[in-house]
Copies of this chain bind each other. A is one copy, B any other.
Amino acid sequence: MALTPEQGREIEQQRAAVQQTRRATVPALEEVLYQPFPVLDHGFVRVIDYMGDDAAIVQAARVSYGRGTRQISNDRGLIRYLMRHRHSTPFEMCEMKFHVKLPVFVARQWIRHRTANVNEYSARYSILDREFYIPAPGQLAAQSASNRQGRGAVLEGADAERVLRILRDDAARTYTHYEEMLNEDAEGNPRDPAHPGLARELARMNLTLNIYTQWYWKIDLHNLLHFLSLRADPHAQYEIRVYAEAMLDIARRWVPIACEAFEDYAIGGARLSRGGIEIVRRMLAGEAVKQEDSGLSKREWDELMELLGRG
C-alpha cells in the first residue's frame, strides 16, 4: 500500500484530534480509526466514521418489542435471537463509513450492492495515479476446469512470468499513453504547449481494469453483513474476498457480539432444502439413503454430503 505523504499527514491529523462526545463509542474501534489496513498490493480499507455499537442494536430491538423483550434477559441472547430469526431492522441502526482503495474490476463487482452510499474518485474531473494491481505469484491461478467462475492450479515458472510481464507492460504502456493524451503537468498546465490535451473524461478510457480507484462507502450493519456473507465466502473472487476479510476483522472490533452471531448463523451455517431435511431425518433414523432414491439431483446430493462431512 502506498499512501502519498499528503494522505499520511492527513491521517495523522485526523487521529490526533480527540473530542468529547455523548454518543455510543467503541474504544477498540477508535484505536484504529482512520488507520489504513493494507489489502492487495496497493489497496487499503480504513474506517472514517461509525454510528452505534452492539448496545445500539439491543436498544433498537427493545423499542420495537417493548416490554416484550424482557423475556430475553441479556444483550447477547437478544442479538443472537434477532440474527437467528432474521429480525434485520435493529442491525440497520448501526452505520459505518469506509475509505477504500481498490482496483476498478473489483469496484465493479462491489458496486452491485446497491444499498450503500458511495463517493468515488472521478476520472472525469481528476487524473488517476499510476497504480495497478498485479497479482502476487501465488494468486496467478489457471481457469478451473470444473467450475466456470473458479480457479484451478497456480501457474508456475515461465507461464507465470509471461502473464506477469503482460500485465505489467500493458498497464504501464496504456498509462503512459494516458498521460501523453492528457498532456498535463502536475499543475494542470500543458507539458507540450504545441499540442492540445485530450479531455480527461475521454483519455481515461485507455486505462486497464486493474488500475486503482478509491471511494467512500457508507453502509448499515445489516447490509454490511449481507455483503460480507457473499464476499467473504470461499466462492467469492480472491481479489474482493481479501477486502471482505479485512472488513470482517474491523466489524469484530466494532460489534463483537453481532459478529459472533453472524459467524455462527450466517457464514458458518448452511441452508438445507426441504428435500435435504427429509434425507437427514431418514439417515438419523438409520436408513442408508442413496442419491438415486434421495429425490435430489446429483449436484444437490454432492453438496449435501459435503455439508454432512460425508463428501
Contacts and interface: CB of A to CB of B under 8 A. Distances in A.
Given A148-B65, A209-B207, A198 B155 contact: yes
B277 A271 contact: no
Contacts of A25: 19-21
Contacts of A69: 125
A271 B274 CA distance: 11
A299 to B, nearest CB: 8
B121 A93 contact: no
A149 B86 CA distance: 15
Given A21-B25, A30-B22, A63-B99, A280 B280 contact: yes
B281 A273 contact: no
A195 to B, nearest CB: 6
B284 A273 contact: no
A2 to B, nearest CB: 16
A28 interface: no
Given A18-B20, A68-B148, 20 more contacts: A20-B25, A20-B30, A21-B25, A64-B122, A66-B127, A84-B273, A92-B218, A122-B149, A140-B198, A142-B197, A143-B196, A143-B198, A150-B199, A155-B198, A167-B206, A263-B274, A264-B274, A269-B277, A270-B277, A277-B308
Interface of A: 14-15, 17-25, 30, 33-34, 48-52, 56, 59-61, 63-69, 71, 77, 80-81, 84, 86, 89-90, 92-93, 95, 97, 99, 103-105, 107-108, 111-112, 114-115, 117-122, 124-127, 133, 135, 139-144, 148-153, 155, 159, 163, 166-167, 170-171, 173-174, 177, 180-182, 184, 188, 195-202, 204-210, 214-216, 218, 220, 230, 237, 263-265, 267-277, 280-281, 283-284, 297, 299-300, 307-310
12 contacts: A23-B49, A49-B52, A64-B119, A68-B125, A92-B218, A93-B218, A143-B184, A206-B210, A208-B209, A209-B209, A269-B272, A283-B284
